[in-house]
Structure formats: structure tokens, C-alpha cells
Amino acid sequence: MADVHKSIRYKTYILLEVNPANYLPSKILNGFLIILIIANVIAFAIGTVDSLARPYGSLFEWFNIFSVAIFSVEYLTRLWCAVEYPHLKHVKPFKARIGYMFRPIAFVDLVSILPFYLGNIFGLDLRGLRILRLLRILKLARYSPAIETLGRTVYNERRALWGALIIMICLILFSSTIMYLIEKDVQPDDFGSIPAAAWWAVSTLTTIGYGDAVPMTAMGKFVGGVFMMLGLGMFALPIGILATGFSQETNRRQFVISWGMVSRVPVFHGLNAETISNIMSMLKSRTYSKNEIIFKAGDPAEQMFFITLGSVKVETEEGVFELKEGNYFGEIALLEDRIHGSSVAATTQLHVLELDKNDFQYLLSIHPEINQKMREEAMVRQNEVAAAMTTDNSNV
């Protein structure tokens, strides 16, 4: 019974947390939750319109109850299967779940539903906390790698952003003080104190310039123009920091994904980091749809393919066999410099890494051990296919 329980929990973990690219139930569940999250935010905003809140208020309330029920089940289920996280598997279940609860995204899940229970179960008047329902939109971060990347960017660049913030605060205080000294006698209402002048400084340095407070003296206008130009550079600084950091984080993420793909290919096992990096620069990622033909027998050999996700059907004169993730194909024709002797088609949504013919020949010239591995693997594969065909014929 315990094994069955663990199996169900692990499958639930795969469904909710891993989200395999070709796993239809996971796609359906994620799509439903994303639509529900967006609908909640829209309903919250529409609920503040009096002409709609009066006639449809009860409908909005029932929709909120339904949403809280779904989000509660989701939260408790994620909490239940949290022990399946690889980094929490060796921790006691209770501690693993407590650790999961303090993850930022799990905390958002909890806070977005907590006011409902506090208000209805304990009878607390938490109408002011209804705005916490807007936090439900942050649940979308779970389904968007870009949001996760942006969060990591802010964290990684926190020191640079903090430095930029200090510079901006100093500039605001400095410009406020200068304009206070210049304009306080002419415009005591707008520049009669440094805090009052700070409003002008903020609106000017951010290049918004509302126009409700403007310098009247010639010196004030000159100094104001100088601070406007300084504001263009200083307030663009955090944007530049975030843009550069986001680009670097995106490239780092893509590098990790590509590294994982290459290192999983058996023929590249045992190669050092520098060699794998060189191979990565040669590979091109490509996706094929289910049943799409990759090449036919008789086609010229231009690439070899490494399967990173999915499977293919290979049709040869000896018979038909299947290759899955971690396998590769198309190398024999390149090794022997001839046309393809088999036809290959995707049997599922397929992700491959392609190695061009010229890059393939260059790779073998500098790493002859890969050439030997490929020939050995090809021989083993041909023997397996021949044995399978012999078995099939004997069973007929």
C-alpha cells in the first residue's frame, strides 16, 4: 500500500511540478489554471464597477468561492507531493513540506486564498485585504520561465540596482536643495522647503514633468534644464542594468539547457567541459511534428541528429525499429559519405540537435574517439535489428 501511495504521489508531482513538454494531462491542467487565474483578476477588477457589482455581485462571489476551492486543492496537493522534489527527498516529510511552504511561489499560493478563510471561518472583517486576491496573478510566474528569469535577474543584480537607487536618491536630494535655494522666495508654495521641492525633482528627473511646479527665475530654469539631462542618464541606469542582466540570464539558461541535452547523448559521455562547449557551438536545435518525415532513403546526407526529446521510427531494408531520447541517427551515411539507406519519421513531438556535415567531419578530425564510438554503436544497433528481425521471422 505504501508503494502505491508513493507512486500516486510521484505521478502527481510529475503532473503539477515537472510538466513534461509532451504530457497532455499536464498541458490541460496548466491551461485550466492559467485561465482561472486570469479570470479571477478580471472578475476582481470588474467587481469594483458599481453598475456591474450590484446585479452580478452574487455571481462574482460564487465564482470566488469556486476559485478558492480549486486553488486550495491545488495548494494542498502541491504541499503533499513536495517531498518528491529531488533536493527534498532526503529530508523528513514534515520538514520538506515546511520548506516548500516558505518558497516564494508557494507563499503567494497561500496568501492569495488565506483572507477568504480568515473572513469566513473566523468572522474577521478583512474587506480591506481583498486586494490580496490580486496576488493570484503572481501565480502565473509558475507557468512563465520569463518571469522566473526576471526574478533571478533582479536578485543577481541587486547590488548594482541598490547602487543605482542610492545615486538616484542623492540626485533627487541634491536637485531639491538647489531649487529650494533658488526658487523659495519666488514660489514659496512649490519650493518653500526641500520636501516640497522634492516633488518637482522627482517629476523632472524622471522626465515626466507634470508642469504643476516649474522654476520661474532664469537661474532656476537653467539649473532645471541641467537636472533634466542628468535625469535622462541616471534614471535609465537601472533599466540598462536589468536589460543586460536579463539577457545574460537568458543566455545562461539556454546554455544550461543545451549542456544538459549534449551531456545526455551517450556518445559524448566522458568528454571534458571544454569539448562539450565546442560541440554545443556546432549544434542547432530543431523541432519536428508528429509523423513528420526527417529524411527518406536515397536523400543526400547533410546532417546527423541527436534526439533530446521524443522518438523516431527508422525504416530500413531489414525492418523497422524505434529510437528514443539519447539516441542519434544519420551518422552512418556521413561516416561512409553516401546517401541515406533508411527513412526516418517522428513518432511523437520531436526535439533534436542537428550537426552539420562539415562540422561533423571537423569534430571527428579533432576527436577520433567519437568516430570509434559511433562506429561501435552503429554495429551494435545493426546486430540488434538483425536479431530482432530473425526472431520475428521465426515466429511467423
pLDDT tens digits, residue range 150-168? 888 888 899 999 998 998 8
Q: Check whether 63 has a pLDDT greater than 70.
A: yes
Q: Which pLDDT does position 178 carry in this prediction?
A: 92
One domain, residues 150 and 213: yes
How far from 389 is each of 213, 267, 383, 393, 396, CA to CA, in Å?
87, 25, 10, 6, 11
Least confident of 254-268, 334-348, 373-387: 254-268
- Structural domain ending residue among the three candidates 113, 143, 173: 143
Taking Cα atoms as reference points, which of 351, 354, 353, 349 lies closest to residue 289? 349
Q: Check whether 1 has a pLDDT greater than 60.
A: no
Total domain count for the chain? 3
> Mind listing the pLDDT tens digit for each residue in 361-379?
888 887 777 777 777 777 7
One domain, residues 117 and 22: yes
Q: Check whether 350 has a pLDDT greater than 90.
A: no
One domain, residues 42 and 136: yes
N- to C-terminal Cα separation, the chain: 42
Q: Which pLDDT does position 130 carry in this prediction?
A: 67
Q: What is the CATH number of the domain that holds 205?
A: 1.10.287.70
Q: Which pLDDT does position 181 carry in this prediction?
A: 92
Least confident of 54-63, 139-148, 172-181, 381-390: 381-390
Least confident of 35-44, 83-92, 106-115: 83-92
- Structural domain ending residue among the three candidates 220, 244, 264: 264
One domain, residues 73 and 198: no
The identity of residue 246, as a single letter, is F
Look up the domain containing 122 and give its range.
Answer: 2-143
One domain, residues 211 and 326: no
25-39: average pLDDT: 89
One domain, residues 251 and 184: yes
One domain, residues 247 and 128: no
Q: Interior CA angle at 328 toward 25 and 23, to 5°?
A: 0
Which residue is associated with the grid cell 508642469?
211
Output the 3-class SS for the chain.
CHHHHHHHHHHHHHHHHHCCCCCHHHHHHHHHHHHHHHHHHHHHHHCCCHHHHHHHHHHHHHHHHHHHHHHHHHHHHHHHHHHHCHHHCCCCHHHHHHHHHCCHHHHHHHHCCHHHHHHHHCCCCCHHHHHHHHHHHHHHHHHCHHHHHHHHHHHHCHHHHHHHHHHHHHHHHHHHHHHHHHHCCCCHHHHCCHHHHHHHHHHHHCCCCCCCCCCCCHHHHHHHHHHHHHHHHHCCHHHHHHHHHHHHHHHHHHHHHHHHHHHHCHHHCCCCHHHHHHHHHHEEEEEECCCCEEECCCCCCCEEEEEEECEEEEECCCCEEEEECCCEECHHHHHCCCCCCCEEEECCCEEEEEEEHHHHHHHHHHCHHHHHHHHHHHHHHHHHHHHHHHHHHHHC
- Mean pLDDT of the residues in the chain: 81
Model confidence at 72, in pLDDT bands (50, 70, 90)? very high
Q: Check whether 391 has a pLDDT greater than 80.
A: no
In terms of residues, how long is the chain?
396
One domain, residues 304 and 381: yes
Q: Check whether 142 has a pLDDT greater than 90.
A: no
CA distance 205 to 233: 9
Taking Cα atoms as reference points, which of 37, 4, 13, 32 lies closest to residue 97? 13
Strand arrangement of the beta sheet that strand 283-288 belongs to: 283-288, 350-356, 303-309, 328-329
Torsion angle, alpha carbons of 11, 15, 16, 22, to 10: 150
- Pick 24 or 132 by higher pLDDT: 24
Taking Cα atoms as reference points, which of 167, 200, 166 lies closest to residue 182? 200
One domain, residues 317 and 355: yes
Model confidence at 351, in pLDDT bands (50, 70, 90)? confident
Instruction: Quote the percentage of the chain above a pLDDT of 90.
Output: 14
One domain, residues 195 and 109: no
Q: Check whether 394 has a pLDDT greater than 50.
A: no
Q: Which pLDDT does position 319 carry in this prediction?
A: 76
> Mind listing the pLDDT tens digit for each residue in 236-272?
888 889 988 888 887 777 666 666 666 666 667 667 7
Output the 3-class SS for 60-92.
HHHHHHHHHHHHHHHHHHHHHHHHHCHHHCCCC
Q: Check whether 393 has a pLDDT greater than 50.
A: no
In Å, the largest CA–CA distance within the chain is 106
CA distance 396 to 392: 7
Q: Check whether 131 has a pLDDT greater than 80.
A: no
* β-strand pairing of 303-309 with 350-356: antiparallel
Q: Which pLDDT does position 174 carry in this prediction?
A: 92
One domain, residues 67 and 158: no
- 227 contacts 176 by C-beta, under 8 angstroms: no
Q: Check whether 395 has a pLDDT greater than 60.
A: no
- Structural domain ending residue among the three candidates 248, 264, 280: 264
Query: Which set of grid coordinates corresponds to residue 335?
Result: 561516416
Which residue is associated with the grid cell 525504416?
315
92-113: average pLDDT: 86
Q: What is the CATH number of the domain that holds 294?
A: 2.60.120.10
CA distance 328 to 261: 12
One domain, residues 239 and 326: no
- 262 contacts 353 by C-beta, under 8 angstroms: yes
